[in-house]
Structure 1
Amino acid sequence: MPHPRHPAELSSRVNNQLKTHLRGPGRVLRSRLPDLVYQEIWSYLIVHHAISDLTAQASAAADLDPDSISFAKALRLIRRTATGTADIPPSGLD
């Protein structure tokens, strides 16, 4: 059984996954209003959590260590198999 990760290591890992893989390197947040910036950040966090949860479930089903499943590869697989995009404008901020 692998040893538990240090919180700083986890924080660095999540930051890398969000900035490098999920959002993309060099991209800035598109939102200009503070409320929309919060909404955009939360959306990245929710998607990251969903992908992490899916990889945890997949690793448990295959009896693997969750760290053995690459976040980047899981993200690419999800992007390839997604059937459409959700073009939902922010609500309640007009």
Structure 2
Amino acid sequence: MARSGWVKPESPERLSDHVSLGVLTRVFPPAVVDRVIAGAGAGQLRNRLLPSRLMVYYVMAMALFAAGSYEEVMRSLLAGLDWITGRFGGWQMPT
């Protein structure tokens, strides 16, 4: 039963989607992710559209949101990271 005065949001996006993905960057700070990448010998040699750090967060997000499509998980991840950092607003999804 809905609460009195509750209004359904117009957008299907939920704040909890962004917060839960943003929490990845809080629980696993970029410095920790970079150390793991370096330890695995999987560092990148060139600047790419899908950098190693982003891909690590993407794999963790896919595990959290297994019911979503790959594209939807990437969109949610980038929206969450943009919400936290403000860096991914103009980024284009690779196809």
TM-score w.r.t. the length of structure 1 is 0.32
Q: By percentage of residues, which structure has more helix?
A: 1
Q: Which has the higher contact order (CA 8 A, sep 6+)?
A: 2
TM-score w.r.t. the length of structure 2 is 0.32
